Amino acid sequence: MAASFKGGTVERADFIHLVRLSEHASADDSQAYRRSVAAFAALGYLWVLGCFALAIGLLAWALGTMGQGRIRGFHIALVVTAAGLLWTSLRALWLRLEPPCGRPLNAAQAPALFEALERIRKKIKGPPIHHVLLDSSFNASISQIPRWGLFGGATNYLTIGLPLLLAIDRPRFLAVMAHEYGHLRGDHGQFAAWIYRTRLSWTKLGHGMRNDDGPLAAATQTFLRWYFPRFLAKTFALARQDEYEADRIAGRLVTREVAGAALTEIAIKGNWLATHFWPLHWSAAAASPQPVGPFGAMRTLLAQPVAEDFARDAMRQALAQLSDEDDTHPVLRDRLEALRVNKRLPAWSTRPALLDLLGPSGSQWLDHFDKQWCKDNATDWKLHHAYLRRVQVGIDTLTASIRRNNADEMTQLGDLQRRLDPKAGVRASYERALQLSPGHAGALRGLAQCLPDDESAARLDCLGQLAELSATHRWWACRTAVRELERTVAQGHGDEKALKRWRERLKEADEAEDRAWSELTETPFFHSISRHDLNDFEKGEFHSAMARCKPVVRAWLVRKTLKEFAYRRCYILFLELPGMADEDRYLLCRSLEQNLDLPGPVLVLWAGHSPTLQDIQRNAFDAVYVRALG
């Protein structure tokens, strides 16, 4: 669960301290910890009930007094005040959360899926799932929507992403279903689910009241600013324990090995979808002004084994991540260790769960989501088509003047050609740029990226020059060299001594990057910023990435000047993401930080409590991306 702390009553260091206290309390006495969580959750309910009772009392007294003919000005003011307090209390008590989006799926359409879900429910002894939805995300989740605000029962929704059904086989998909259902198991699961629903309710209440005026609304907002971050910290250990317990339940139902393989395959294929499939799919806009549905191609490509080099690299990246206080979900390494399974690449799924669990309706759902995707992305696709046509014009212009081009222009020619076709033969462009300007950073990076695998020595030479000559590209050069040498060492013909040296250089570069990242994230958002400095090509790439990220309505990009690394191009990206839960916003922002192709590190934040949309509009200059309507 993500939370913003700048500008609130709990700073990040204090939040981390509170999280540590909750973890220690849970480890010392789990039952006592759960009782303390329940008591703190009850405090929020007591505030609401107290406000409700106070409002009723004030109204009764004021109206009773006025009914006796003793009407004074303060009686009328009291009635208005009490009515406002009553309205605020009722909003909290009967707060409605919107159900998740998706296409309803029933047992007649997918009998095998519903039979499997019923078997899992009986084994776990969980509550029924009232609605099963299918959507286009690479995910699966169970949501509980309260029927009557903070009180009463809940309606259970299971949302299944079509790409997930395409990516893994039936046993691994059922491991995911067992994990999701595990969140609802028994008394402990119901307690954790109730706490999670309460968290969502407080989040929506605070968001809904952010623009309310008046002393009573201000009092409630003050209480929420004090209570909510402490509630998040207090329940943090419970939420993370719940993830581990759900994994253990999946391991008992389908074996630990299958559950671990599912986690690993999903992590790697999720990375592949984000970094390879979607850029490749959007590149088809160069040839077609009309959108092309992605899910037919996705079905074919996800059924194939992931390229070994990419899989090893993605696995290393996933295992290098560390669990932190920003997200209650543990990272892959911790989840595999908790399951007590080996951290290795799995055998890839060969028959997607879609075929076994949706049967004949699977093809119909692919057609449906392809058509829906084309409809939803028609405007952005046309804009991207126009952008790629401009890229082609740039290529034609630079090609026509190729004999007169300088090093920057030859590098740009190579970059533009690779933008249209990642497999384009652009080596000559970068080599010519290096002839004109030896040590040109952009040309060295471009050449290192386009050299074939059998020219590993030449690639390492480019990376060595880049690390020496360009402080801006040093970390990228070191990371790429380490990956290259790890690949060749794994194949049995690499230089282990060179790998050791590059790892030492990468460690130094990592330390420098960490210092830069700390300054970027810990200084005030709007301090030492200026308008972005992207050139036309970089801006086009950025617009293309935003167009592919459907939740983004508007985006503001600013350059951040760091004291220690004044030469670095660093950025902060502010996003308007309406209609998303904060946890989903957090995950999207972290994914964009990893996958956006900007010329420097970027901190991605969404418009919420801090910074607010008004703060962003006031301080972050003009929006650089606005999603087209239609």
pLDDT of 2 > 50? The answer is no
pLDDT digit string, tens, across residues 31-89: 898 889 889 888 888 887 888 888 888 888 878 877 776 766 677 777 877 787 777 77
Is 4 among the domain residues? no
pLDDT band for 4, please (50, 70, 90 cuts): very low
Are 396 and 435 part of one and the same domain? Answer: yes
Is 517 among the domain residues? yes
What CATH number corresponds to the domain at position 473? 1.25.40.10
pLDDT digit string, tens, across residues 333-391: 999 999 999 999 999 999 999 989 998 899 999 999 999 999 999 988 998 898 899 89
pLDDT of 9 > 80? The answer is no
Is 295 among the domain residues? no
pLDDT digit string, tens, across residues 573-620: 999 999 887 778 888 998 899 888 888 889 999 998 778 899 999 999
Are 471 and 406 part of one and the same domain? Answer: yes
Phi, psi values for residue 26, rounded to 5°? -65, -40
Are 548 and 497 part of one and the same domain? Answer: no
**Close Cβ partners of 573 (under 8 Å, ≥ 6 residues apart):** 555, 556, 557, 592, 596, 602, 603, 604, 605
Percent of the chain with pLDDT over 70: 91
pLDDT of 630 > 80? The answer is no
Is 397 among the domain residues? yes
Final residue in a domain of this structure, among 478, 504, 521: 521
Are 517 and 542 part of one and the same domain? Answer: no
pLDDT digit string, tens, across residues 153-206: 678 999 999 999 999 999 999 999 999 988 887 655 667 777 776 776 666 666
Question: What is residue 83's predicted lDDT score, i.e. its pLDDT?
Answer: 81
pLDDT digit string, tens, across residues 79-121: 877 787 777 777 766 766 778 899 999 999 999 999 999 999 9
Q: Give the other-Cβ count within 10 Å of 609's Cβ.
A: 20
Are 434 and 515 part of one and the same domain? Answer: yes
* Domain range enclosing 537: 529-626
- Measured CA to CA, the distance from residue 16 to residue 10 in angstroms comes to 10
pLDDT band for 250, please (50, 70, 90 cuts): very high
Question: What is residue 52's predicted lDDT score, i.e. its pLDDT?
Answer: 82
Are 571 and 590 part of one and the same domain? Answer: yes
Question: What is residue 573's predicted lDDT score, i.e. its pLDDT?
Answer: 97
Question: What is residue 3's predicted lDDT score, i.e. its pLDDT?
Answer: 41
Are 425 and 541 part of one and the same domain? Answer: no
Which one-letter amino acid corresponds to residue 236?
A: F
pLDDT digit string, tens, across residues 473-528: 999 999 999 989 988 888 888 899 999 999 999 999 989 888 888 888 888 989 99
Question: What is residue 88's predicted lDDT score, i.e. its pLDDT?
Answer: 72
What CATH number corresponds to the domain at position 561? 3.30.300
Average pLDDT, rounded, for the chain? 87
Centroid of chain to Cα 125: 32
Are 479 and 581 part of one and the same domain? Answer: no
Question: Which of 297, 295, 293 lies closest to 378, judged by CA?
Answer: 293
pLDDT band for 401, please (50, 70, 90 cuts): very high
Is 132 among the domain residues? no
pLDDT of 464 > 60? The answer is yes
Domain count, the chain: 2
Phi, psi values for residue 211, rounded to 5°? -105, 5
Question: What is residue 6's predicted lDDT score, i.e. its pLDDT?
Answer: 36
Contact call for residues 204 and 73 (beta carbons, < 8 A): no
Centroid of chain to Cα 403: 45
Q: Mind giving me the DSSP string for 415-459?
A: HHHHHH-TT---HHHHHHHHHHSTT-HHHHHHHHHHS-GGGHHHH
Q: Which residue spans within 36-139 are E strands per DSSP?
A: 103-105, 131-135
**Close Cβ partners of 466 (under 8 Å, ≥ 6 residues apart):** 441, 444, 445, 448, 473, 474, 476, 477
Are 382 and 516 part of one and the same domain? Answer: yes
Are 386 and 511 part of one and the same domain? Answer: yes
- Mean pLDDT score, 302-312: 91
Q: Give, for 164, the enclosing helix (H) or strand (E).
A: helix 162-167
Question: What is residue 8's predicted lDDT score, i.e. its pLDDT?
Answer: 44
When comparing pLDDT for 217 and 138, which is higher? 138
pLDDT band for 214, please (50, 70, 90 cuts): low
Are 515 and 388 part of one and the same domain? Answer: yes
Is 366 among the domain residues? no
Single pTM value for the model: 0.79
Is 426 among the domain residues? yes
Is 173 among the domain residues? no
Strand 151-161, strand 131-135: pairing: parallel
pLDDT of 434 > 60? The answer is yes
Output the CA angle 140-142-143, nearest 5 degrees: 130
Question: What is residue 326's predicted lDDT score, i.e. its pLDDT?
Answer: 73
Are 466 and 434 part of one and the same domain? Answer: yes
Q: Three-state DSSP class for 232?
A: helix
pLDDT of 30 > 90? The answer is no
Final residue in a domain of this structure, among 521, 556, 572: 521
Final residue in a domain of this structure, among 478, 499, 521: 521
- Measured CA to CA, the distance from residue 385 to residue 264 in angstroms comes to 35
